[in-house]
Amino acid sequence: MSSPAEAVLTERNRSYGLAALFLVLTAALSLVWSHNRLMWNDEFLSFYGDSAPSVAAVVGVQLHYPISLDPPAYHVLSHLSMDLIGRNAMALRLPALAGFLLLQISLFFFVKRLAGSRAAVVALALPLLTASFRYSVEGRPYGLLLGLYALALVCWQDAGRMNAGRRRILPLTGLTVAIALAISSHYFGVLILVPVCMGELARSIERRRLDFGVLLALALGVMSIGLILPFRKALMVYRQHYYITGVNWHDITQGYRELFVNYTTWPMPLQKAAAGALALATIALAVAGYRRFKRRKPAEPACEWVALIGMALLPFFGYLFGRFVTHTMEVRYVIAALIAFAATWAIVLEAKLRRDSFYYAMLAVILVAALVLNGTHIAQERRDTRTMLASFQMSPTAADALRKDPTKRVYIQSLSDFFLNTYYVPQADLRSRFSLVYGQAEEIRWLAHDTRYVTAINMQHLAPLSVTSYQSLLQERDPLVLLYDSSWEWMDKDIAAKQLPVTFYGDCMRGKLGRVGTVPGSAAGSVRINRPQ
């Protein structure tokens, strides 16, 4: 019969093994998902900026002509990733996957100190079942932010539980680095200060004295705000007519809903049922968390629960930050609230997890659910990718029109379709013919913003992309255009308003290929529009 010390060691080693199993599962699912997923508009914006020839060039892009509106940290990391494995979508997304794995590891150690190794394994595994897992396969800063928020939390916890000494330097350094990287990865990254500062304030009240080591780490991390201010200045040109205006209180509830289930495409009755179920689950979790807090051991600091509450309230603070500071907000900016929910669920189950039958049954359920849910997402992604690749087809008349003018530019105003066509169209000679059209006055007139115009202007600095002004298009004799039925499309509306004749050749890469009958030096024309039958 093993001694209590041996039993504890065995349990610890088993928990590390199970944690490693779920980390491997996370990486495998994420990489397979990424392999089957095409890049989308926002990822292309990151991809082309991050593909600059050097780190200095990447920083220069973000400092002078950004097309992805973030501070430079994530872009530098994805650039370095591309240097290692090539200029491709997988490399772009690796820092996001690394951030998600860091989230899981940090959750493990944070919960382990509060509720033991079994609850820690559950906390590590739970994010696999949430809609937020998709951010591990998106080449944007959000997956990385999840990891940095969790790292800051666990480093603050570690520093608070340690006595003064050389070993304390490591968590304090980790706290500083996590805060600095979060702030320099996304402008909403400054919200990382909310849970940590709330927790530290509560700890100072508990101890009745200040912890100058933690305060110094916080101050050093906050200094990174000074480093990102020059990058924010480059974004001012976007703010005048930005495509998102205002912040709505519905962003708060949506910020919570989209942590767990992305059900916005469901029928409305199912959406309401899902929202109600999530609300009831949240209330139940809050009640269970409060009861567990009241039963906490004397040595368990209350301040760590305060920090979790601060993390859970991030959508509220995000709303305030967006409303009064940035004047824009998207729910993915506050997904770090997931940390509080995953940790709390695992902690409140601490007593039940002591029973082997419940513990291993729950891990089995999480494992099977993770495979089924994410396997379903991967299968759907594969179908979507096949559908998209199959859409790079054209009618015989459109193909014939392109063959007759093999060197003529094909003008596209839709940014997302421009990116897809120039990257994924199988024929290299055709990919090189596409040119993005921009026109500020037209975009403001028809769409009430000029975000795409500013993006196109900045893209002129990023080879090998081709951009052309709308006025230059109108000066060309009989230009070829691809027009799309999209709410982001304005060129078709403006061509019709100018009464320019358009001869359509048929379907071509999800749009309609047409030839505009312009007269050099004039934007006038007849009202005739010939559409294919």
pLDDT in tens, 200-231: 999 999 999 999 999 999 999 999 999 999 99
Query: Mean pLDDT lowest for which of 25-34, 267-276, 286-295, 324-333?
Result: 267-276
Q: Which residue has the higher pLDDT, 233 or 307?
A: 307
Determine whether 276 is exposed, middle or buried from the number of CB atoms within 10 Å of its CB (0-12, 13-18, 19+).
exposed
For residue 528, pLDDT over 60 is answered with: no
Supply the DSSP string of 124-135, one letter for each residue.
Answer: HHGGGGSGGGGG
pLDDT of residue 523: 39
Question: Looking at residue 124, what is its pLDDT?
Answer: 98
> Which helix (H) or strand (E) element contains residue 481?
strand 480-483
CB 225 within 8 A of CB 242: no
Rounded to whole angstroms, how far apart are CA atoms 79 and 97?
15
Span 150-156, mean pLDDT?
98
pLDDT at 166: 67
**pLDDT at residue 521 is higher than 80:** no
**Predicted local confidence at residue 249, as pLDDT:** 83
What is the DSSP code (8-state) at residue 277? Answer: H
pLDDT given at position 2: 61
pLDDT greater than 70 at residue 105: yes
- As a whole number of angstroms, the distance between CA 213 and CA 207 comes to 14
What mean pLDDT do residues 87-111 have? Answer: 97
The pLDDT score that the predictor gives to residue 56 is 96
The residues facing 512 across adjacent strands are: 483, 507
Give the Cα separation of 457 and 459 in Å (integer).
5
Q: Per-residue pLDDT for 251 more than 90?
A: no
Better pLDDT: 517 or 528: 517
Asked if pLDDT for residue 337 goes beyond 50, the answer is yes
Contacts for 532 with CB less than 8 Å, ≥ 6 apart: 395, 397, 504, 505, 506, 512
Q: With bands split at pLDDT 50, 70 and 90, how would you rate the model's confidence at 485?
A: confident
Rounded to whole angstroms, the Cα distance separating 81 from 73 reads: 12
pLDDT for 185 beyond 60:
yes
Q: Return the number of other C-beta atoms located less than 10 Å from residue 320's C-beta.
A: 14
Rg of the chain (C-alpha set): 26
CB-CB contact of 182 with 149 (8 Å): yes
Write down the mean pLDDT value for the chain.
91
**112: its two tokens:** 């382990």
If you count them, how many residues does the chain have?
533
Tokens of 376: 């379903």
Encode pLDDT of 354-371 as tens digits.
999 999 999 999 999 999
For 25-56, the pLDDT digits (tens) are 999 999 999 999 999 999 999 999 999 999 99
Phi, psi of 487 (to 5 degrees): -70, -15
E strand segments, 292-343: none
Burial group, residue 304, by CB count within 10 angstroms (0-12, 13-18, 19+): buried
Distance CA(49)–CA(419), nearest Å, equals 13
Please name the amino acid found at residue 492: D
Q: What is the pLDDT of residue 245?
A: 65
Structure tokens that stand for 299 in this block:
């040595």
* Predicted local distance difference test score (pLDDT) of residue 222: 96
Q: Is the pLDDT of residue 132 over 80?
A: yes
Q: What is the pTM of this model?
A: 0.93
H or E element, residue 172: helix 169-183
Task: Give the position of tokens 């669920």.
Answer: 345
- Does residue 87 have a pLDDT over 70? yes
Average pLDDT of the segment spanning 92-112: 98
Burial code of 66-85, b = ≥16 C-beta within 10 A, e = fewer?
bbbbbbbbbbbbbbebbeee
- The pairing of beta strand 502-508 with beta strand 480-483: unpaired
Q: What percent of the chain has pLDDT over 70?
A: 94
Percent of the chain with pLDDT over 90: 75
SS3 165: coil
Residue in the block written with tokens 């990486």: 27
CA distance 90 to 86: 9
